Chain A
Amino acid sequence: MSELLQFLFSGVTVGAVYALVALGFTIIYNASDVVNFAQGEFVMLGGMLTFAGSAAGLPLLLAAVIAILATAAMGVLMNKLAIEPARGAPVVSLIIITIGASIFIRGGTQLIFGKQIHTYPSISGDTPIRIMGATILPQSLWVILGAVLVFIGLWLFFTRTLLGRAVLATSNNRLAAQLVGINTNFVMTLSFALSAGIGALAGVLISPITMTSYDVGLALALKGFAAAMLGGMGNPKGALVGGLLLGLMEALTAGYLSSQYKDAAAFIIILAVLFFLPQGLFGRKSTERV
């Protein structure tokens, strides 16, 4: 029993990390149909900038806030300098741009901050919380809380605010959105700022657990992307559920079957889910226009 519980805790810890990363993908995707492969770099920047700030003597909270704002600014820059000028390019070209941006950000971070692995103290210490013989770290609860709060925020944003609906409208039909008076440029800028900010928040929260360095972004983006696809791209609920499911599957496979093939099990389940639900668990249905 305590064994199963420990596997579940492990899965939820990892799953919340994936969910937070996956949530970052949704806004940009919703606004532009582009999967931003630089999303992992935003997560990395969140962690690295927080470390750099606190190493420079700032209080941790202030360093974290600055890191999130700076990363959001980075997202805006990326949209203004790389995505907006390429308006009208095929989606696959936009993807290559985001891959280029990811390599660029990684290279820049390496130049400025070096290649060392860093970490900083957890928010509420490292004394594990014991529940029925199993343990979980307080920081894991913070990550879970972060994921849930971001999810609720996004859900409210997309369903209850005019701006959120403007984002959805822009992705459905940019021209029509412009015709009804939506400033689509602003919507795109906003979605990059939000996505980058959420990514950075993820980085801030997970780095005390996963540690951070200039090259952690790619692996995180890969898992976050898979989680988002499992849940259904673009849907915050899908990102949350997909992330948690992916984490749980890995932990349970590692616990009961083989730790060597835990990632394989996760991908096999993703393939199986997509076989029956080609849009993921909660993906929006799209119909092809001729």
Chain B
Amino acid sequence: MKLSSKHVTLLVLLALVAISPMLFPSGYYYRVGALIFVNAFAVTGIVILTGYAGQISLGHAGFAGIGAYACALAPVHLGLHPALAAVLGALISAVLAWLVGRPILRLKGYYLGVATLGFGILVSMVLNNERQLTGGPDGMEVPDLGLRGVLKDWGLDLSNGQFWYFFSGICLLIGAWLALNLYHSPTGRALRALHGSEIAARVVGVDVAREKLKAFVISAVYASVSGSLLALQNKFITPDVAGFMHSIEMVTMAVLGGVGSVLGAVFGTAVLTLLPQVLTAFGEYEQLILGLVMMLVMIFLPAGLLPSILRKLRGAEA
């Protein structure tokens, strides 16, 4: 039986989520795993926007901020269940992405970069400044999702770390499955066509503006849900989630791993999430080594970690 690349990706991810815990010596590893999955969820959105459609965003943390603060604010002010608040956050992000995307997606390359950057900074500025609502830079508390308690009643008693590990892992699997389906859909084909050349895509009848907007909105929803997951997991949120550095981090994770594929992006996310944890052993040299690793990977594996490694392996087999 020949497995499609889509099934391979999903199986690898599933195996990763299910088998890794057997190697965990302490609860702390669940926390790191959960962070990898949450980050990878947002990065999957970047794969759709940058990998499929070839558009750059330096402001996607803004959407993560919206998703995160929706989970903090909506339960308090609207009495919504935190899960519904996350859905509301995703909706707001989608509408906002649609409104913002229409004018700015006409821009190309760095100009799109600076426009999205501006958007991200606006969101983080509002979160920082509207202190009465958001608690300002000190942040605010986020209500409990409550699902762990429900599972406990059903006889499944997980620690907080374990719960978020598996919950985020399952969310990532669903996100990856949707992104892979999109890749093989007509929209996915149109996005790849316009990635190659917008003019050529237009000639063969692709509505370029519409397809780009679609990719932008979908990736915004991914970032928003990732922000919600982070907020619910941490039960506390500050405007850092919407900060410029977080936007850059998302793009770096995707590109480092290989922006063209979901698995590559997850791989890049894992590396960049684990690296600071490993580098604590180097104390003051941490930043130095982090910068060095980023440069070395991009110099020697310019297509990203996973694609380059796969190519090398195939080359070795042949």
Q: Decide if A and B touch, CB cutoff 8 A.
A: yes
Give the nearest-CB partner of A234 in chain B: B110
Among B56, B119, B294, B304, contact of A100 (Cβ-Cβ < 8 Å): B294
Question: A267-278 CB contact bits vs B (8 Å, 1 = yes)?
Answer: 110110011001
Interface size on A, as a range, is 35 or more
Contact flag A107-B285 (CB < 8 Å), given A100-B294, A263-B125, A278-B106? yes
Interface centre among B119, B122, B285, B294, by most chain A C-beta atoms within 10 angstroms, is B294
Question: B191-231 CB contact bits vs A (8 Å, 1 = yes)?
Answer: 00000011110000000000000000000000000000000
Q: A101 touching B291 by the CB < 8 A rule?
A: yes
Question: B40-82 CB contact bits vs A (8 Å, 1 = yes)?
Answer: 0000000000100000100000000000000000000000000
**Is B266 close to A, CB under 8 A?**
no
Give chain A interface residues in 72-89, CB to chain B under 8 Å.
82, 85-86, 88-89
Q: A99 touching B104 by the CB < 8 A rule?
A: no
Give chain B interface residues in 112-159, CB to chain A under 8 Å.
113-115, 117-119, 121-122, 125-126, 129
Shortest Cβ gap from A254 to chain B (Å): 13
Q: B291 touching A222 by the CB < 8 A rule?
A: no
Give chain B interface residues in 251-304, CB to chain A under 8 Å.
251-252, 255-256, 259, 284-295, 298-299, 302-304
Interface centre among B104, B298, B304, by most chain A C-beta atoms within 10 angstroms, is B298
A92 to B290 CA separation, bound complex (whole angstroms): 18
List, in ascending order, chain B residues with CB within 8 A of A203's CB: none
Q: B299 touching A107 by the CB < 8 A rule?
A: no
List, in ascending order, chain A residues with CB within 8 A of B287's CB: 103-104, 106-107, 110
Contact flag A100-B302 (CB < 8 Å), given A274-B104, A288-B197? no
Question: A47-85 CB contact bits vs B (8 Å, 1 = yes)?
Answer: 000000000000000000000000000000000001001
**Is B111 close to A, CB under 8 A?**
yes
**Is B108 close to A, CB under 8 A?**
yes
Shortest Cβ gap from A91 to chain B (Å): 8
A229 to B244 CA separation, bound complex (whole angstroms): 17
Contact flag A82-B295 (CB < 8 Å), given A107-B286, A290-B200? yes
Question: B238-259 CB contact bits vs A (8 Å, 1 = yes)?
Answer: 0000001000100110011001
Interface centre among A89, A105, A264, A271, by most chain B C-beta atoms within 10 angstroms, is A271
Q: B110 touching A275 by the CB < 8 A rule?
A: no
Give the nearest-CB partner of B302 in chain A: A89
**Is A179 close to B, CB under 8 A?**
no
Give chain B interface residues in 3-55, CB to chain A under 8 Å.
50
Q: A103 touching B115 by the CB < 8 A rule?
A: no
**Is B95 close to A, CB under 8 A?**
no
Q: B111 touching A274 by the CB < 8 A rule?
A: yes
- B contact patch SS: helix
Q: A104 touching B291 by the CB < 8 A rule?
A: yes
Question: A206-237 CB contact bits vs B (8 Å, 1 = yes)?
Answer: 00000000000000001001100100010000
Q: B288 touching A108 by the CB < 8 A rule?
A: yes
Contact flag A264-B295 (CB < 8 Å), given A92-B50, A278-B111, A288-B197? no
Among A104, A225, A268, contact of B114 (Cβ-Cβ < 8 Å): A225
List, in ascending order, chain A residues with CB within 8 A of B304's CB: 93
List, in ascending order, chain A residues with CB within 8 A of B114's CB: 225-226, 229, 270, 274
A107 to B286 CA separation, bound complex (whole angstroms): 8
Q: A108-B288, A267-B117 are in contact. List 18 more A-B contacts (CB 8 A).
A: A82-B295, A86-B298, A86-B299, A90-B302, A92-B56, A93-B302, A97-B295, A103-B290, A104-B287, A107-B288, A111-B288, A267-B118, A270-B114, A271-B103, A274-B107, A274-B111, A274-B115, A278-B108
- 26 A–B contacts, CB within 8 A, in A order: A35-B113, A86-B298, A88-B302, A89-B299, A90-B302, A92-B255, A93-B255, A96-B252, A96-B298, A100-B290, A100-B292, A104-B288, A104-B291, A107-B290, A108-B288, A110-B287, A225-B114, A226-B114, A233-B111, A260-B129, A261-B129, A264-B126, A270-B118, A274-B104, A274-B115, A288-B199
B residues near A (Cβ < 8 Å) are: 50, 56, 103-104, 106-111, 113-115, 117-119, 121-122, 125-126, 129, 197-200, 244, 248, 251-252, 255-256, 259, 284-295, 298-299, 302-304
